[in-house]
Structure 1
Amino acid sequence: MGSEGDEKRIIKKPRFLCLHGFRTSAEILKKQVHKWPQSVINELDLVFLDAPFPCQGKSDVEGIFDPPYYEWFQFNKEFTEYTNFDECLQYIEDYMIKHGPFDGLLGFSQVGAILSAALPNLQDKGVALTKVPKVKFLIIIGGAKFRSPCVAEKAYSSLIRCPSLHFLGETDFLRQYGSELIECCVEPVVIHHPKGHTIPRLDDESLKTMMSFIEKIKKDI
């Protein structure tokens, strides 16, 4: 019986709940992530979730990816005021209760990456994900920070302590904000790439960095 338990530990993959970008979908994020080599995909258990609200405006991916498109919550132009934010947090928690447990979060762009990076400290402060196991790992692609003081105070008043992997594009319009987010993390691993606001393909160096990160977190699940 002990050997069977050992075997289960050996084959367990880090399980990530994947949160898509602004006005896209789980299916779109899945297609974007699957540009990565199969050697990476095979090492992770990735679960893709559609945001709770139908898209309330034009999507930037129209004509590139097919609808439907969804959004996590609504916000003003300055990204300082949010509508349906608490409902969004509850929606994610309900999904994690029903389909979990999850080891980590993978997020892209607005609002997937911003949300993913904020959730560990919101969880620690008792604001979100209070009924599920702690988020242990983050993969952040094209990330940034919340600008609303009431959310930011809880999300970044202490350092984000879980191991995190960040993708930072040289021409990403969120690059500066992604760098500011990285400064909030205790154990950030950063993959720099020459592209813009996108999920990049992995060159030899970034593949090596990502596989090293995966091997490290596998020891902690």
Structure 2
Amino acid sequence: MAQQHEEKDVTFATLPAILCLHGYGTNAAIFRCQLRQITQTLSRTFRFVFVEGPFHVQQPGPGALPAFADARPFRRWHSHKTLAGAFGVSTQNVEEERRQVRDLLKDTLEREREHGPGVVGVAAFSQGAGVAASLCLDSELGTDIKFAVIICALYPAVSLAEHEDGTAASKSTMRLIEIPSIHIQGMSDSWKGQGTKVLREYFNGAKAKIFNLVGVGHEVPSRVKEAAIVADEVMAVWKSILAGGQE
């Protein structure tokens, strides 16, 4: 069963939370390590809740090698229906996996809301960024999300919502994400074009801040200077939100 991992040095009631969604072929513990330069800087303002993707994969994913080659079990989120074959998943199983991920995120958000200030933001990498985009668009689950940090997103976003017939909602039924968003893209990322497409198709560009990092591939920014850029922008967005301003 998938688990959630919270920072242990503060109580539920103290700080608002950022939901953290890892990439394909990693896990919550790996993502915590990948984000540590950013989370350490922001630890007096936010708690970070790392959610574990519920499905196992055999091989480590992009950005995991070589540092995390032995950090099993590797996990993933549900796949988009157009990519089901690549994941070895049937169309029927795509729907079942989507429901499992939605239930997992719903339970996490409700637990945070019951015991403290709740989740106010989402930070996600690679495949997790596609889940984050759908979370922000979800009319039930995304209502408390005030900002998003999207790192090296993969296209397309994977739907969490469903139609009345129980099937996943299509992109044509989605609106743009209107909350402030921070988009981190590596200039050496082979999938950079996908991250750009996610930004253009799912987010309101007028409320988006884009950082193209030189010398960075498909990876979470971990060097001190890069992490500081991200952390500073998160704080700027959060201060604007608290002040009632618009990014």
TM-score, normalization by structure 2: 0.69
Q: Does 1:102 align with 2:116?
A: no
Q: 1:189: Cα distance to partner?
A: 1.2
Residue 213 of structure 1: SS of its match in structure 2?
A: helix
Structure 2, unpaired ranges of 5+? 1-12, 159-167
- Taking the aligned partners of 1:98 and 1:18, their CA distance within structure 2 comes to 15
- Taking the aligned partners of 1:46 and 1:108, their CA distance within structure 2 comes to 14
Q: Does 1:190 align with 2:210?
A: yes
- Taking the aligned partners of 1:133 and 1:40, their CA distance within structure 2 comes to 23
The code of the aligned residue for 1:91 comes to L
Q: Does 1:69 align with 2:74?
A: yes
What is the percentage of aligned positions where both structures have the same residue? Answer: 23
Deviations 1:78-128 (A, max 9, x none): 999672112211111112112332112111111x1111012222x12x5xx
Structure 1, unpaired ranges of 5+? 1-10
Distance 1:78 1:150, change over 3 A: farther
Q: 1:178: Cα distance to partner?
A: 1.1
- Taking the aligned partners of 1:62 and 1:39, their CA distance within structure 2 comes to 25
* C-alpha contact 2:147 2:181 (8 A) present in aligned 1: yes
Matches for 1:5-44 after TM superposition, within 5 Å: 13-36=15-38, 38-44=40-46
Deviations 1:176-219 (A, max 9, x none): 11112222322111122110111113527825444423432344
Instruction: Report the counterpart of residue 206 of structure 1 in structure 2.
Output: 229
- Taking the aligned partners of 2:242 and 2:154, their CA distance within structure 1 comes to 26
Residue 77 of structure 1: SS of its match in structure 2?
A: helix
Matches for 1:147-162 after TM superposition, within 5 Å: 150-154=169-173, 157-162=174-179
Q: Does 1:176 align with 2:193?
A: yes
* C-alpha contact 1:51 1:70 (8 A) present in aligned 2: yes
Distance 1:12 1:153, change over 3 A: farther
The alignment yields a C-alpha RMSD, in angstroms, of 3.0
* C-alpha contact 1:170 1:192 (8 A) present in aligned 2: yes
- Taking the aligned partners of 1:210 and 1:135, their CA distance within structure 2 comes to 13
Distance 1:22 1:78, change over 3 A: closer
* C-alpha contact 1:79 1:147 (8 A) present in aligned 2: no
* C-alpha contact 2:58 2:74 (8 A) present in aligned 1: no
- Taking the aligned partners of 2:135 and 2:88, their CA distance within structure 1 comes to 17
Distance 1:214 1:136, change over 3 A: closer
Instruction: Report the counterpart of residue 6 of structure 2 in structure 1.
Output: none
* Matched length: 200
* C-alpha contact 1:79 1:146 (8 A) present in aligned 2: no
TM-score, normalization by structure 1: 0.76
Residue 30 of structure 1: SS of its match in structure 2?
A: helix
The code of the aligned residue for 1:213 comes to V
Deviations 1:12-51 (A, max 9, x none): 7542111111121111111000133733343322111111
- Taking the aligned partners of 2:104 and 2:78, their CA distance within structure 1 comes to 11
- Taking the aligned partners of 1:22 and 1:185, their CA distance within structure 2 comes to 22
Residue 51 of structure 1: SS of its match in structure 2?
A: coil
